[in-house]
Amino acid sequence: MDYSNLFKGQKIDLTCPNCERKFKIDASLAFKRNSVVNCLGCSEKINLDTTDSRKKLDKIMKDFKKMFK
């Protein structure tokens, strides 16, 4: 099962570690390892694996997998 389909079109919150600007990114981005997004505020390249979003998403994924077992 491709879990990324469950999150299609959904957004997750991301906070730039550099300028602390909050913005939303496509949730599907967070499924790829080492996804990099550019901050809208300071153009910092943010590796999603180093942010809280990854942890948040992993938790959501875990809950999802439980539901589908």
Say which residue the tokens 């809950």 belong to: 63
Q: Least distance from C-beta 37 to Zn ion, angstroms? A: 10
Say which residue the tokens 């496509």 belong to: 26
Q: 15 or 28: whose CB is closer to Zn ion?
A: 15
CA distance 50 to 53: 8
Strand partners, 22: 15
Q: 41 or 50: whose CB is closer to Zn ion?
A: 41
Q: Least distance from C-beta 22 to Zn ion, angstroms? A: 10
Question: Which residue ranges make up the site for Zn ion (CB under 5 A)?
Answer: 16, 18-19, 21, 39, 41-42, 44
Q: Are 48 and 30 in contact (CB under 8 A)?
A: yes
Q: 21 or 59: whose CB is closer to Zn ion?
A: 21
